Amino acid sequence: MNNAPILTIDDFPRELRRRTVELLKQIGTLAEDRVFNTRSNPLAPEESPVILVWMDDVHGEWQGDAPRQFDSVGKLIVTGYVSGAPVEDVEDQTEQLATQIQSLLNYVAFVAPPLQRIRAIDRKFVMKVVSERYEGYVIFTFDLQWTEVFEPLLAPFTGAAPFGAYGAPLAEVQLTAQTAAGEDLIGATITLPPNQES
């Protein structure tokens, strides 16, 4: 039996990015408040260190329709960027930033429901030379798993729920019944009163 926490957050990947940005600002990295929910650096090189956060490759696998449930996996990318000179200082700051980013794993808020688990972590270092300046990158890929539930909604163009949708209100039943004398009553319809509960 799957005891995974049920997702009740709309657009969870976006919410996860937002939570991660806020957490990285709070835990006190070299980037301070220069943590952004984007894959493009909005600042000039001299304003580094900077951390960028985004999601990649989200995939959901159907688990059933009562309710409509998917086991989802996705990659949370967290990139630390340092620019400057000499190269030894850039390398040292990049390594410090890597340790600080990995400390996300120490915080319950990061791995709490609806996340089920962090399945894997990849860490990559890159050093570049640009003119007389050095650029250091540490790129984390957190491979995550969570459970998503999609409740059926009324279609905006018809006002009707799709056939078989879990949670759709039952308004009418069509059936075939047999009388005590053995006579078939085909196509009998029972109309149910609307639910008056608020």
For 136, phi then psi, to 5°, come to -115, 135
Q: How much is the pLDDT for 94?
A: 97
pLDDT tens digits, residue range 72-105? 899 999 999 999 999 999 999 999 999 999 998 8
Kindly list the distances between the CA atom of residue 168 and the CA atoms of 20, 65, 172, 185, in Å, as whole numbers in the listed order.
36, 12, 12, 27
pTM of the model: 0.72
Q: Which residue has the tokens 């894997």?
A: 120
Task: Tell me the H-state helices in the chain.
Answer: 12-26, 87-102, 108-111
Residue 18 above 60 pLDDT? yes
Q: Which residue has the tokens 């399945």?
A: 119
Per mean pLDDT, which range of 45-54, 164-173, 179-188 is the poorest? 164-173
Q: Which two tokens mark 180?
A: 């005590």
Q: Which two tokens mark 87?
A: 């190269």
Higher pLDDT, 171 or 68: 68
Q: How much is the pLDDT for 1?
A: 42
Mean pLDDT of 6-17: 74
b/e 13-30 (16+ beta carbons within 10 angstroms → b): beebbebbbebbeeeebb
Average pLDDT, the chain: 81
Mean pLDDT of 159-178: 59
Domains of the chain: 12-150 (3.30.70.1700)
Q: How much is the pLDDT for 159?
A: 58
User: Is the separation of the CB atoms in 114 and 15 below 8 Å?
Assistant: no
Q: Which two tokens mark 128?
A: 């570049």
Q: How much is the pLDDT for 116?
A: 77
Alpha carbons 133 and 164: distance in angstroms, whole number: 62
pLDDT tens digits, residue range 35-83? 999 999 999 989 999 999 999 988 888 887 767 788 889 999 999 999 9
